[in-house]
Amino acid sequence: MATEILMPALSPTMEEGTLAKWLVKEGDTVSAGDIMAEIETDKATMEFEAVDEGIVGKILIAAGTAGVKVNTPIAILVEEGEDASTAAPAAAAPAAVSAPVAAAASPAPAAPKADGQRVFASPLARRIAAEKGLDLATVKGSGPHGRIVKADVEGVSAAPKAAAQAAPAPAAAAPPAAPAVSASTIAKLYEGRSYTEVTLDGMRKTIAARLTEAKQTIPHFYLRREVRLDALMAFRGDLNRKLESRGVKLSVNDFIIKACALALQAVPDANAVWAGDRVLKMKASDVAVAVAIEGGLFTPVLQDAEGKSLSKLSSEMKDLAKRARDRKLTPHEYQGGSFAISNLGMFGIENFDAVINPPHGAILAVGAGVKKPIVNAAGEIEVATMMSMTLSVDHRVIDGALGAQLLSAIVENLENPVAMLA
């Protein structure tokens, strides 16, 4: 039976990708787990594994093709002696919807869910399951990364279906959204002026979509504090001198990550994310840190940051930042977390407001340390290094007083850095 190989969703947010490179050619024999292609997502270039064995009968999407939608047929896998042309018409003419494609509205063969998570299955396994009326959410996969393959569904029988439930009443139609201004309309405003048109890549499209969603749907509010850095700077200098023989050099950002991780443990109700109709309170402090790269940014996540030493956090952050700039991070390394840090202090920015990265409950915007005159506890004027911080908070998750407690805990940790090692 000829099997269509579909453009995979290599991350939960992926809607389309670029088929960067084929690593097989027509006529090659592949087995489950073999690398077939390299696919560029909105964030990284990833390898695509075969989930069934067979012969590459036909390649439908050429290498270098951009904007390939998820679930678009990209190749046909056939068995020995089988003709790939038997499946080619459906792939070549997607407008002609065949019976199996029309059945995609059914939860089992299309994109089944189990406990809210997507169930991954090969196209052939989905087709067999559809013919049997089998719910793939009940099948355990034996393929790569738990993917359901042909062998998993061949010997399984469908469970009796429950009585059909009454169809829910149609939801009230949403008010029409304001039409977006077209590119041609904008271009007319600049007729006669010289400019260079930059085509958006996948990363920039994703950033635009997610930040628009964030500002439109998340009720942001902002809390601002200044933190005195003199004790931290002295402590950091002393530690770095002692760690020099080990090749370790701690940055101020390493201390900020640790301070935030410990603060989330001290104020556990603030260590939470918005999950649509509920709030998820996290146990560990998984802290995301914004890393600027050419054309966009990543927010790699440092998991269990509260239990890691400053030197461990420093080495992990350096590794994640390097691989982020090389676009070598895998999705699990930049997805998740409950809290984020965005530090523009190294660019001389004294203060700013960061946009929350959903589903996070908050993000800390960190500015530069600046020497300022202050009034000390004795009422005397002295010079101190002060750093401005702004906590952007999702009001659905964290109320004002709770956000203030979290920011206060962060400040306390930074102004008493020795205590973070206790």
Tally of CA atoms within 13 A in the half-sphere of 76 that contains its CB: 19
User: Which tokens go with 421?
Assistant: 């090692």
Strand 65-69 with 73-78, pairing: unpaired
Contacts of 121 by beta carbon, 8 Å cutoff, 6+ apart = 112, 129, 136, 139, 141, 147, 148, 149
- What are the residues facing 121 on neighbouring strands? 148
Task: Tell me the Cα Rg of the chain.
Answer: 26
- Residue among 145, 220, 332, 395 flagged as catalytic: 395
**Cα 295 from Cα 284, distance rounded (Å):** 31
Say whether 395 is catalytic. Answer: yes
Provide the Cα torsion 109, 111, 116, 117; round to 10°.
110
Could you list the active site residues? 395
